[in-house]
Structure 1
Amino acid sequence: MTTDNTTHFGFKQVAVDEKVKLVRGVFDSVAEQYDIMNDLMSLGIHRIWKRIAVQLSNVRKGEHVLDLAGGTGDLTTLFHERVGSDGQVVLADINAQMLRTGRDRLIDRGLAANIRYAQVNAECLPFADNTFDCVCIAFGLRNVTDKDAALRSMYRVLKPGGRVIVLEFSHPTDKVTEKVYDFYSFNILPKIGRFVAKDEESYRYLAESIRMHPKQAELKQMMENAGLERCEYFNMTQGIVAVHRGYKI
Structure 2
Amino acid sequence: MLTVDFDRLGVGAGTKVIDVGCGAGRHSFEAYRRGADVIAFDQNASDLNDVDEILTAMRAEGEAPLSARAETVKGDALALPYDDGTFDCVIASEILEHVPQDDEAIAELVRILKPGGALAITVPRWLPEKICWVLSDEYHANEGGHVRIYHADRLRDKVLAHGLRLTHVDHAHALHSPYWWLKCAVGTENPDHVAVKAYHRMLVWDMMSRPWLTRTAESLLNPLIGKSVALYFEKPVADGADL
When the two structures are superposed, what TM-score results if normalisation uses the length of structure 1?
Answer: 0.63
CA–CA separation in structure 2 for the residues paired with 1:126 and 1:222: 22
Please give the per-residue CA displacement for 1:170-227, whole angstroms capped at 9, x wherever unaligned.
212xxxx678x4389629xxxxxxxxxxxxx5775389617x2321111000111133
In the alignment, which residue of structure 2 is the partner of 1:81?
Answer: 33
Aligned match of 2:45:
96
Distance 1:128 1:140, change over 3 A: same
Q: Which amino acid aligns with 2:85?
A: N
**Residue 85 of structure 2: SS of its match in structure 1?**
coil
The reply on whether 1:67 has 2:16 as its aligned counterpart is no
* Greater Cα offset, 227-236 or 58-67: 227-236
SS of residue matched to 1:159: strand
| Distance (Å, rounded) in 2 between the aligned partners of 1:160 and 1:75 | 22
Change (3 A) 1:184 1:108: farther
CA-CA distance at 1:235 after TM superposition: 2.5
Alignment of 1:31-50 (within 5 A): 47=1, 49-50=2-3
User: Runs ≥4 in structure 1, deviation > 6 angstroms?
Assistant: none
- In structure 2, the CA distance between the partners of 1:207 and 1:233, relative to structure 1 (3 Å rule), is farther
Q: Is the 8 A contact 1:53 1:167 kept in 2?
A: no
CA deviation string 1:93-136 (max 9, x = no partner): 01212212221232233369610221121111110111100000
Distance 1:183 1:128 in 2: 38
Structure 2 residue corresponding to 1:235, chosen from 138, 151, 171: 171
For 2:146, the equivalent position in structure 1 comes to: 209
Task: Give the drift of 1:143.
Answer: 1.3
Count how many residue pairs are aligned between Structure 1 and Structure 2: 179
- Which residue among 72, 78, 81 is the counterpart of 1:117? 72
Partner of 1:36: none
CA drift of 1:248 comes to 0.7
State the partner residue of 1:129: 84
Q: Choose the corresponding residue for 1:224, options 160, 164, 173.
A: 160
- Partners of 2:140 and 2:129 lie apart in 1 by 18
**1:71–1:99: 8 Å Cα contact kept in structure 2?**
yes
Q: What is the distance in 1 between the residues matched to 2:162 and 2:101? A: 12
* Equivalent of residue 244 in structure 1, options 228, 231, 234: 231
Alpha carbons of structure 1 residues 220 and 203: separation in structure 2 relative to 1, 3 Å = closer
- Listed one character per residue, the Cα deviations across residues 64-113 of structure 1 (whole Å, up to 9, x for unaligned) are 0001111121111111122x2xx400000012122122212322333696
- Structure 2 unaligned runs (5+)? 175-224, 237-243
Normalized against structure 2, the TM-score is what?
Answer: 0.64
Which position in structure 1 is the counterpart of 2:207?
none
Where 1:79 maps in the other structure, the secondary structure is helix
Tell me the percent identity: 24
1:67/1:229 CA distance change after superposition, 3 Å: same
| 1:17-44 Cα shifts (integer Å, max 9, x gaps) | xxxxxxxxxxxxxxxxxxxxxxxxxxxx
Question: Rg: which structure is higher?
Answer: 2
